[in-house]
Amino acid sequence: TQLLEQSPQFLSIQEGENLTVYCNSSSVFSSLQWYRQEPGEGPVLLVTVVTGGEVKKLKRLTFQFGDARKDSSLHITAAQPGDTGLYLCAGARSNTGKLIFGQGTTLQVKP
């Protein structure tokens, strides 16, 4: 059973389009992180959200933590080919750093 469900699993869009990736769970997390991973490399942290309802922006990326701290979303505006990669959400139950990762969303942005 996957503790964190990400959807969609795969997404192929044209440059300039908008998209949203979802990360859902039945469990409550103390914080939730989003990572981006490129082929042949390890995941790189994009953002951490801690407070229910929190919204963080990173250029064209908008991250939101659900009010109940069980789900999160990542919205990309005007996607660019450089956004291509695997997007992973990860939930933390405590400050131990033991993160539970979702299966990931593979995004391909075509020029």
Partner 1 sequence: DAGVIQSPRHEVTEMGQEVTLRCKPISGHDYLFWYRQTMMRGLELLIYFNNNVPIDDSGMPEDRFSAKMPNASFSTLKIQPSEPRDSAVYFCASSGTGEKLFFGSGTQLSVL
Report which residue type is found at 50: V
The residues that touch partner 1, with contacts defined as CB under 8 A, are 2, 31, 33, 40-45, 48, 88, 90, 92, 95-104
CA 99 to centroid of chain Cα atoms: 14
Q: Which residue has the tokens 């914080």?
A: 31
Contacts of 10 (CB under 8 A, 6+ apart): 105, 106, 108
Identity of the residue, 5 or 13, whose beta carbon is nearer to partner 1 in the bound complex: 5
In the beta sheet, which residues pair with residue 31?
92
Identity of the residue, 15 or 41, whose beta carbon is nearer to partner 1 in the bound complex: 41
Cβ 14 to partner 1 shortest distance, Å: 26
Identity of the residue, 43 or 85, whose beta carbon is nearer to partner 1 in the bound complex: 43
Cβ 42 to partner 1 shortest distance, Å: 3
Q: State the virtual CA torsion across 41, 46, 49, 55 in degrees, nearest 10.
A: -140
Cβ 102 to partner 1 shortest distance, Å: 7
